[in-house]
């Protein structure tokens, strides 16, 4: 009988299987490691296999070896199989034993180094943008697409969604593991519900890079609007200064909400925090002012502490990195930038219409948008189309691009599902509180004064604008309609 270097118990089918599995995995991992180190660009699937999927299989293989031995030992003890083991001897003078020992030590060391490097790479990999954004590509496609064109395209997902510290790291990995299971079971909500309840307070994420004490003064905003129907005015421009920050020591300006000398709390009536009927502002001295809508005041509404939220950055900047734009502003901007020629008859109305329609999938949307728009121009605007074929085709192609980067039918993601709270035009935003309907018992009202948050410094038809550095009273574009004085913008404007 050949000399055996391991205990007889190890010579069984389960241990053989384990040894074979680990050997194969070991070689495969070695090759993948080398590939990952030697190729300059990281492929997220390669990393996923190398650092997340395969190592557990290798470990299972290794575990099978002693498990097989234990089982055999038990079987021998119970008399199920005959005891054919030999006493284990190890003799350094024996060349075969010496070689086996050296081989064992070398393989163990290589394995440990690979495990260490592997764990580190696994850590880095699961923290990386490709992991969050592309591994489950269909699910995160909307967030990832919007992220890539946001000002935060160089900020890692984890810097806003997890932040620093071991506690949040573990919490996020547990919640991440749950999400992986849900993904595999195809059991997840479409759209993904917001607010994200595990989102860390902005103090530990946004404020790692931006701080509220930093004064911005004013920021200039420029908007161009194009009429839906041809009329006397072909383009209306508005330029305004956003009063982001007040003067030193003054409790004014938009970011005064974030000043340490007064803190704002609110209670929302709905899950998405779009309706707010109770607001409390507390100053440094601890003096509180409570503002309520008429209905809330009538029933002496008193929210439960669990429903009260301290206002922070994301109550205004709700879409800092995943901004899904509505058809109206999208088409306005495309026209202002010359991507869509504003001279094409009725292009704004038609483009907004096809962007806002509901589709079951992106594929269907792309086909429908192309066919509906080309049919319209070929049939209803044949004369214009024949003279400006390229222009119209380019516009149609661009509308398709706009759709693909802002609307995601598979995940049911659109501008009206994830409202941006930064303004008040197509979702209530600031007017959730600043609608002039939130009053304190003292008679004080949360202001709806158009001049408080911004000053319009120029407005009107692009070739004939009125201008003033002191701020102009708002004129409703194109029709001069005055209903905005009584009604909120979002009552009429839905973005489509």
**What is the gyration radius of the CA atoms in the chain, in angstroms?**
32
Question: Which residues lie closer than 8 Å to 55 by C-beta, 6 or more apart?
Answer: 29, 115, 118, 122
Single out the residue of 173, 317, 333, 404 in contact with ligand HEC (rule: CB under 6 A).
317
462 binds ligand HEC (CB under 6 A): no
Task: Specify the residue, 72 or 424, whose C-beta has the smaller distance to ligand HEC.
Answer: 424
Please give the Cα distance from 264 to 258 (Å, whole number): 8
We find the least distance from the C-beta atom of residue 464 to ligand HEC, in angstroms, to be 16
Single out the residue of 25, 162, 238, 335 in contact with ligand HEC (rule: CB under 6 A).
238
Single out the residue of 65, 122, 162, 258 in contact with ligand HEC (rule: CB under 6 A).
258
**123 CB neighbour count, 10 Å cutoff:** 13
Please give the Cα distance from 241 to 458 (Å, whole number): 10
Structure tokens at 356: 């806002």
Which stretch in 17-25, 71-79, 316-324, 360-368 sits in contact with ligand HEC by CB under 6 A? 316-324
Asked if omega into 431 is within 30° of 0 (cis), the reply is: no
Which stretch in 21-29, 137-145, 381-389, 463-471 sits in contact with ligand HEC by CB under 6 A? 137-145
Task: Specify the residue, 30 or 213, whose C-beta has the smaller distance to ligand HEC.
Answer: 213
Chain centroid offset of residue 316 CA:
16
471 binds ligand HEC (CB under 6 A): no
162 binds ligand HEC (CB under 6 A): no
377 binds ligand HEC (CB under 6 A): no
Kindly list the distances between the CA atom of residue 272 and the CA atoms of 109, 188, 290, 349, in Å, as whole numbers in the listed order.
54, 18, 22, 30
Residue 68: phi and psi, rounded to 5, are -60, -40
Please give the Cα distance from 159 to 153 (Å, whole number): 12
484 binds ligand HEC (CB under 6 A): yes
132 binds ligand HEC (CB under 6 A): yes
Structure tokens at 399: 């509308």
Q: Which residues within the stretch 185-224 sit at the binding site for ligand HEC (CB under 6 A)?
A: 192, 194-196, 199, 202, 205-210, 212, 216, 219, 221, 223
We find the least distance from the C-beta atom of residue 418 to ligand HEC, in angstroms, to be 5
Nearest to 277 by CA among 251, 299, 261, 245: 299
Asked if omega into 195 is within 30° of 0 (cis), the reply is: yes
Single out the residue of 190, 239, 257, 333 in contact with ligand HEC (rule: CB under 6 A).
257
Structure tokens at 347: 């292009």
Single out the residue of 429, 455, 457, 472 in contact with ligand HEC (rule: CB under 6 A).
429
Single out the residue of 321, 336, 403, 415 in contact with ligand HEC (rule: CB under 6 A).
321
We find the least distance from the C-beta atom of residue 320 to ligand HEC, in angstroms, to be 4
CB 429 within 8 A of CB 272: no
151 binds ligand HEC (CB under 6 A): yes
Q: Which residues within the stretch 259-278 sit at the binding site for ligand HEC (CB under 6 A)?
A: 262, 264, 266, 276
Residue 302 CB burial class (10 angstroms; 0-12, 13-18, ≥19):
exposed
We find the least distance from the C-beta atom of residue 485 to ligand HEC, in angstroms, to be 7
Single out the residue of 252, 358, 389, 467 in contact with ligand HEC (rule: CB under 6 A).
252
Which stretch in 2-10, 13-21, 152-160, 388-396 sits in contact with ligand HEC by CB under 6 A? 152-160
Which stretch in 5-13, 20-28, 113-121, 237-245 sits in contact with ligand HEC by CB under 6 A? 237-245
279 binds ligand HEC (CB under 6 A): yes
Q: Which residues within the stretch 441-460 sit at the binding site for ligand HEC (CB under 6 A)?
A: 446-450, 452-454
478 binds ligand HEC (CB under 6 A): yes
326 binds ligand HEC (CB under 6 A): no
Asked if omega into 191 is within 30° of 0 (cis), the reply is: yes
We find the least distance from the C-beta atom of residue 4 to ligand HEC, in angstroms, to be 54
Please give the Cα distance from 292 to 295 (Å, whole number): 8
Q: Which residues within the stretch 65-124 sit at the binding site for ligand HEC (CB under 6 A)?
A: none
Single out the residue of 227, 409, 460, 461 in contact with ligand HEC (rule: CB under 6 A).
227
Single out the residue of 72, 432, 455, 457 in contact with ligand HEC (rule: CB under 6 A).
432
Task: Specify the residue, 155 or 392, whose C-beta has the smaller distance to ligand HEC.
Answer: 155
CB 12 within 8 A of CB 71: yes
Structure tokens at 407: 């609307």
CB 57 within 8 A of CB 25: yes
Question: Which residues lie closer than 8 Å to 355 by C-beta, 6 or more apart?
Answer: 327, 330, 331, 369, 399, 402, 403, 406, 407, 496
144 binds ligand HEC (CB under 6 A): yes
């Amino acid at each position: 009988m050949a000399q055996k270097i391991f205990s007889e118990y190890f010579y069984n089918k389960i241990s053989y299987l384990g040894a074979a599995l680990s050997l194969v995995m070991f070689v495969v991992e070695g090759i993948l490691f080398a590939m990952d180190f030697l190729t300059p660009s990281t492929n997220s699937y390669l990393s996923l296999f190398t650092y997340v999927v395969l190592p557990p299989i290798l470990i299972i293989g290794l575990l099978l070896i002693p498990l097989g031995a234990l089982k055999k030992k038990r079987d021998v003890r119970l008399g199920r199989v005959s005891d054919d083991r030999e006493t284990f001897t190890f003799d350094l003078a024996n060349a075969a034993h010496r070689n086996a020992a050296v081989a064992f030590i070398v393989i163990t060391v290589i394995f440990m180094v690979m495990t260490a490097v592997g764990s580190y790479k696994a850590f880095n990999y699961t923290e990386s943008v490709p992991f969050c954004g592309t591994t489950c590509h269909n699910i995160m496609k909307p967030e990832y697409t919007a992220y890539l064109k946001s000002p935060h395209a160089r900020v890692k997902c984890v810097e806003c969604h997890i932040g620093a510290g071991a506690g949040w790291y573990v919490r996020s990995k547990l919640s991440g593991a749950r999400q992986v299971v849900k993904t595999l079971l195809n059991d997840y909500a479409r759209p993904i519900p917001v607010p994200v309840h595990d989102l860390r307070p902005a103090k530990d994420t946004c404020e790692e890079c931006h701080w509220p004490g930093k004064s911005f003064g004013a920021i200039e905003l420029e908007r161009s609007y194009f009429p839906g129907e041809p009329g006397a005015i072909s383009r209306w421009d508005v330029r305004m200064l956003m009063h982001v920050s007040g003067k030193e020591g003054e409790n004014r300006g938009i970011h005064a909400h974030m000043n340490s000398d007064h803190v704002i709390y609110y209670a929302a009536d709905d899950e998405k925090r779009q309706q707010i009927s109770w607001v409390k502002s507390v100053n440094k001295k601890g003096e509180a002012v409570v503002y309520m809508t008429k209905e809330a005041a009538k029933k002496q509404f008193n929210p439960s502490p669990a429903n009260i939220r301290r206002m922070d950055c994301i109550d205004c900047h709700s879409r800092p990195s995943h901004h899904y734009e509505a058809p109206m502003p999208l088409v306005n901007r495309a026209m202002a930038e010359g991507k869509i020629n504003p001279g094409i008859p009725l292009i704004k109305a038609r483009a907004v219409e096809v962007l806002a329609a509901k589709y079951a999938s992106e594929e269907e949307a792309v086909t429908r948008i192309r066919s509906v728009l080309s049919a319209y121009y070929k049939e209803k605007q044949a004369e214009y189309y024949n003279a400006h074929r390229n222009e119209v085709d380019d516009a149609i192609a661009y509308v398709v691009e706009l759709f693909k980067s802002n609307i995601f039918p598979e995940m049911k993601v659109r501008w009206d599902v994830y409202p941006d709270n930064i303004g008040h035009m197509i979702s209530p935003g600031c007017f959730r509180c600043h609608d002039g309907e939130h009053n304190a018992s003292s008679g004080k009202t949360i202001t709806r004064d158009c001049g408080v948050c911004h000053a319009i410094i120029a407005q009107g038809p692009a070739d004939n604008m009125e201008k003033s550095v002191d701020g102009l009273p708002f004129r409703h574009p194109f029709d001069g309609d005055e209903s905005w004085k009584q009604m909120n913008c979002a009552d009429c404007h839905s973005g489509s």
